[in-house]
Amino acid sequence: MARIKQIKARQIPDYRGNSMIEADVALDDGTFARAAVPSCSSTEIYEALKLSDGGSDYLENVVSKAVENVNKIIAPALVGMDPTEQAAIDNFMVQQLDGTENEWGWCKQKLGVDAILVVSLAVCKAGAASRRIPLYQHIANLAGNSRLVLPVPAFKVINGSSLAGNKLAMQEFMILPVGASSFREAMKIGVEVCDHLKAIIKKKYGQAATNVRDPGGFIKENEEILELLKQAIEIENADYTDKVFIGMDAAASELYGQHRTYDMNVKEENNDGSQKIAGDALGNVYKSFVCDYAIVSIEGPFDQDDLENYEKMTDEIGEHVQIVGGDQLGTNLARIEKAINEKTCNALLLKVDQIGSVTESIKAVKMSKVAGWGVMASCGSLGQQRSIANAFLPKMFCFGDCTKLRCGETEDAFIADLSVGLAMGQIKTGAPRRSERQAKYNRLLQIEKELGADAVYAGADFRRPVNPY
């Protein structure tokens, strides 16, 4: 079996010019693999720590310390190890080379989650290459998964919250081609609905609303957004009403404030506080959305620690709508276990850059699936916030360049293979409009073609496509 000969990390720019980390793993048989990790800052209290230098270069997002940790600490320690022993390598990096813990588990405060993760991803790719099998199959083997499933894409088409210069309080609205018969058809439907949405917005608000980064803003009500999406799905001569459903990420932690209330007018200047509502009332807002629109997924409906309302909502509508734990979980194993026991959500948003290794990601998915949860793979932590309607209503929805994003994505398509290998059933990685997003979708199209007649699309079973564990 081939052994690790060399590991080398470097700092490279992301699509916005901010720095991120990339690493190469070379084996002694000539096999080579490369991986990159998004340039994210750690803002969720339950996720592992990303190590950033600070300072003024690259908008205070320099990762030379993480690069040095790879080259001087991790690399020498892993030389000679078998790249197919993923768990042994990941556990060695996390528990021995780093070894830092807090009340929620291994926090990666010494080496940084980006340093550990970039090596973990590159080693995983090298292990697949050394075994001469596709990456998704190698990941399935590592997990003991006997089934491969292509995920339903959750196309983010409209952004609000801190991601955009509009007045929209809630963060994301998505379309999910659940009724497609294949991933290829899902991509076709997604593109067509996005294009139809553009035409609707152009007709309603004018040409200026479709110009990238053109100032202005028209929409601030969630209901108006949902009506736009409803119209976009009803394409003339190709009505996708029975095939496309709606998902949303409320990111309600950003709305949460004093007296345990949620401010639905939080982005309004000179806010008089008249739109503050209690958690029960916000829950009723979501239930009205579910009744009036084809919503199948709601992420982050309450503050990450407002577990009472999470539990109530999961109990009331969780059978028909998945309640996704994003900030609440932080892809943290202890938080996932807590949520399973307390029934405070029924789906995991999996971000490998929050948890920090392939092995821990596999554990998170297994825990979730055994509990009967749905699992949605997601790009770099909040880095995937790039939506198609942003291109149409940039000041309102922030397309071109969302300056308030805390994370820049890469063209590394690892999560595409991860979603298939772990049979997650869902993937959220932006709209099909930019190369760093499209790279993941193109990889899934390649996988579907490779699998041929054996290709299985999650479709209507996206929440529980299979429990292979």
Which residues belong to the annotated binding site for Mg(2+)? 249, 299
d(CA 343, CA 455): 33
For residue 176, the cross-strand partners are 245
The dihedral through the CA atoms of 385, 390, 394, 395 has a sign that is negative
DSSP states along 22-61: EEEEEETTS-EEEEEE-EE---STTSPPPP---SSGGGG-
What's the half-sphere exposure (Cβ side, CA atoms, 13 Å) at 282? 29
Look at phi and psi of residue 193 and say left if phi exceeds 0, alpha if psi is from -120 to 50, else beta.
alpha
In angstroms, rounded to a whole number, what is the distance separating the alpha carbons of residues 189 and 306?
36
List residues forming the annotated binding site.
249, 299
DSSP string, 239-264: E-TTT-EEEEE--GGGTB-GGGEEET
- 358-370 and 135-143 helices cross at what angle (nearest 10)? 60
Please provide residue 463's backbone torsions phi and psi, each rounded to the nearest 5 degrees: -75, -35
The residues, ordered by sequence, that sit 6+ positions from 85 with a Cβ below 8 Å of its Cβ are: 127
Q: Is 179 helix (H, G, I), strand (E, B) or coil?
A: coil
H or E segment to which residue 415 belongs: helix 414-421
3-state secondary structure of 433: coil
Token pair 């009505």 in the structure block, residue = 239
Q: What contacts 415, CB < 8 A, 6 or more positions away?
A: 352, 377, 378, 379, 427, 429, 440
User: DSSP letters along 85-129, please?
Assistant: -HHHHHHIIIIIII--EETTEE--TTT-HHHHHHHHHHHHHHHHH
